[in-house]
Structure 1
Amino acid sequence: MGGALLLLAGCNTLPDSGPTEAQVNHAQRDPKKNTVGYGIVQVTPELVSQLAQEVPPALDSLDTGNVPTIQTNNDTVGPGDVLQVSIYEIGSALFSPSSAAMTASSVSGTNTLPSPSTASNLPPLPIDGNGDLDVPFAGLIHVTGMTTDQVAETIQARLKTKSQSPQVLVRISSDIANSVMVYGGVQRPSRIPLTPNRERILDVIALAGGEERPSGDERQPQTDEDYVVRLTRNGRIAEMPLKVIENEPTQNILMQAGDRVQLTFQPRTYTVFGASDHVTQTHFKTPTLTMAEAISRVGGPVDSRSDPNAVYLFRFENTDVLRRMGLPVEGNAPTAPIVYQLDMMNPANYFLAQKFMMRDRDLIYIANSSSNKFYKFFGLISTIIAPGITAAWMAK
């Protein structure tokens, strides 16, 4: 009995790379150790189906119940825009320098024929913060929400009593109101003006030069799946991988004035700890990655040290998913910690591992076998006594 107690004490003092299945389960039930409140859920066909139905907020969700007050075709003007106004007049022109000479000739009695028409280009006219445009002889005009044709008609109506048959042309020389900001991992971060052609989100990314490909390690390939598009519209935010937008036309939504598009390079990785061939952080390298593929990339469980019954995946899961599982969720946090357990001694679970999809920043832990410490202890004893046995044998 004394020898057994000594053996157990010796085993418990040996170093280890991580907990066993029993230790993980015990720590989950101990409030002092489980300070983050995680639960352990077995990977089942129902769980895989439920997780497969979870989808992040789509970009087209920002269109639902978020219709602009004024529907436009990207040809209206607003505060910050700069307009170029051209005025064509017949006879004595208000805006032409020749009008003063013609007036003087009329006073002196000189017989001077008026020019059939005169074109005048006004200096660039900015629209102020209140949406007003100040036009000489026409006064202050509130133009926010008007098209360029409507602005021209308004100016023309005000000049009719002061000029002979005026004709007005208006164009936008600097378009601020109908523009979106594109920034982040694009080649030319800038303000992109929208046109009546109705640009979509992929269009404005392309106009900003497309994704910026940083020179990186060849072992870390840069794919469109690693670029995330973040759209901010009227205080609401949605994110989606660039590849998903490219593959799903419904997500290539129309841009609205004032949208902000951020492109971010976020290489997806997962981490492996415990009794595997490699304790490492690994890049996805492919558009999608299953749990089976992730485990196989690091060599899988090591026969001499691992417990295939206890392969864990640690994740911060969306709280809506946890509520559907019937797990308690505290507060209004968007995510909560959860641990998924896969029993690799059950052949049926290999099919589940092929359908369980990995996510960015997932952590896989392969538990140590409970008998691992005994093997370590006997290995240590053998190392200590082996030289003595060898010396005794040589002495004979």
Structure 2
Amino acid sequence: MIVAGALSACALPQVGPNKTQIEAGSVAKGGDAFIVDVDNRVAKATDVIPSLGFSRDFTNAAQLTSDTIRPGDVLGLTIWENVDDGLLTGATGNATALEEVQVDSAGFIFVPYAGRIRAAGNTPNQLRESITQQLDEQTPDPQVQVRRLAGDGSTVSLVGAVGAQGVYPIERSTRSLSSMLAKAGGVTVEPKIAQVTVIRGGSRGKVWFQDIFSNPSLDIALRGGDRILVEEDTRSYVAMGATGTQARVPFESKDLSAIEAVAQVGGLVGAASDPTGIFVFREEYPKVANNVLGRTDLSGPQRMVYVLNLTEKNGMFVARDFIIRDDDTVYVTEAPFTQWSKTLSLLIGSVTPLASVKTLAN
């Protein structure tokens, strides 16, 4: 019976391959994966995360000034005439207000008695002088005030995980990316995993939301027509083996360590997990693979299996420093005791029917 149970142990159910089976697939044993024990050097060499950011075309762009009038802007005009019965004021007063005068697509506005005047490209003061010059020929000593009411000609669109999606004008208080996001109600996902994409013509850039505030150069000046998309980080990893949960798991932070990845799925299972056998399967960048293995001849993505042993000296610190990347597979092997327990269960299960027969006979 003992011999039969021992033989049956070879086919016992298990959550996945054990350490011996994984190591059998190493390049050293004829397999196609490099198996590497993680230490401080390896953790540092693999700490490579694709960076997000804006190109110089974005970061070098100066802020728009509210003084520059553009097609689509809405202006407010007030005209005073130095006569009792003027061209515009009539007999009721000497001031006339022209509200919500919109600059047309060609950049012009129409002012009674002054005609069609170019507004786009001028400051409110320059436009005031142009209108005054035209009216001076019609009425003595006219006084003109020009106000820029809204920047409808310079707008951006915000979509995705923001408080209020829509089209917003670039105004004095919303010239930068952070201020425009605030205008739209901020982000509605966890800030530490929020990503902001800005599309400007044929160019685009993506940054982490929190980096906008920690790195002022990323708080770029906006341009009319910019499209801003806010979305949650889409990175994920797969957790398998003797862990609390086996699933595809989204990242909960910008930088996710091996310890955090295991903790996210419920941690190690005390009665089943082997703390000496935490494996991270990854298609590694060739440059990183060469660096880790001390080689220079590898090209193309390399199959790498990183082994973490929490019981080693500083093993917990190494696991804290080892960074998980998108599409990694984190696998925790079962402890040898677990397989032994299954074998005992099989033996006990084999004995039980015989005991039952004896009981019935009595």
For the aligned pair, the TM-score class normalised by the smaller chain equals 0.7 to 0.9
Instruction: Give the Å deviation of 1:353.
Output: 0.9
Is the counterpart of residue 256 in structure 1 residue 222 in structure 2?
A: yes
User: Gaps spanning 5+ residues in structure 1: where?
Assistant: 99-114, 213-221, 331-335
- DSSP 3-state at the match of 1:228: strand
- Asked whether 1:90 is paired with 2:82, we answer yes
> Which residue in the other structure is 1:216 paired with?
none
SS of alignment partner, residue 276 of structure 1 = coil
Structure 1 residues 344 and 272, CA gap change in structure 2 (3 angstroms): same
Aligned partners of 1:152 and 1:320: how far apart in 2? 62
Residue in 2 that maps onto 1:124: 100
SS in 2 for 1:385: helix
**In 2: Cα distance, 1:323 partner to 1:211 partner:** 40
The number of residues matched between the two structures is 350
Secondary structure in structure 2 of the residue aligned to 1:124: strand
- Give distance in 2, aligned partners of 1:54 and 1:266: 14
Counterpart for residue 239 of structure 1? 207
The 2-side partners of 1:338 and 1:96 are apart by 82
- Per-residue CA shift, 1:160-212, capped at 9, x if unaligned? 33333232222223312344333433333344434445754333333323344
Tell me what 2:72 maps to: 80
Give the secondary-structure state (helix, strand or coil) at the position aligned to 2:222: coil
Distance 1:395 1:353, change over 3 A: same
Trace 1:377-396 onto structure 2 (pairs within 5 A). 377=343, 379-389=345-355, 391-392=357-358
2:239 aligns with: 272
1:49 counterpart residue number: 44
**1:341 matched to which residue of 2?**
307
Same amino acid, percent of matched pairs: 26
CA RMSD of aligned residues (A): 4.3
Map 1:114-263 → 2, pairs under 5 A: 118-122=94-98, 124-196=100-172, 199-212=175-188, 223-234=190-201, 235-242=203-210, 244-246=211-213, 248-250=214-216, 253-258=219-224, 259-263=226-230
One-letter amino acid of the structure 1 residue matched with residue 223 of structure 2: A
Secondary structure of 1:310 counterpart: strand
Corresponding residue SS for 1:173? strand
User: Is 1:292 the equivalent of 2:259?
Assistant: yes
Counterpart in the other structure of 2:300? 329
Indicate if the aligned counterparts of 1:75 and 1:196 stay in contact, CA closer than 8 A. no
Alpha-carbon distance in 1 for matches of 2:329, 2:97: 66
Counterpart Cα distance in 2 of 1:273 and 1:71: 50
The verdict on how the C-alpha distance between 1:371 and 1:353 changes in structure 2, with shifts beyond 3 A counting, is same
C-alpha distance in structure 2 between counterparts of 1:201 and 1:312, whole Å? 41
TM-score (norm 2): 0.73
Q: Using the alignment, how far apart are the partners of 1:296 and 1:261 within structure 2?
A: 34
Instruction: Report the alpha carbon displacement of residue 238 of structure 1 after superposing the two structures with TM.
Output: 1.4
| Alignment check: 8 A CA contact 1:322 1:329 kept | no
Rounded Cα–Cα distance in structure 1 between residues aligned with 2:359 and 2:143: 117
State the shift of 1:240 in Å.
0.3
Secondary structure of 2:72's aligned partner: coil
What secondary structure sits across from 1:354 in the alignment?
A: helix
Secondary structure in 2 aligned to 1:238?
A: strand
What letter corresponds to residue 156 of structure 1 in structure 2? T
Deviates more, 1:279-288 or 1:122-131: 279-288
1-structure distance, mates of 2:315, 2:347:
38
- Aligned equivalents of 1:303, 1:187: Cα separation in 2: 43
The runs of 5 or more residues in structure 2 that have no matched partner are none
Give the drift of 1:76: 1.6
Alignment partner of 2:149: what SS? strand
Shift of 1:270: 5.8
CA distance in 2, matches of 1:386, 1:285: 48
- Does the 8 A contact of 2:156 with 2:169 survive in 1? yes
Q: Evaluate the alpha carbon distance shift between residue 378 and residue 328 of structure 1 in structure 2; reply closer, same or farther with a 3 A threshold.
A: farther
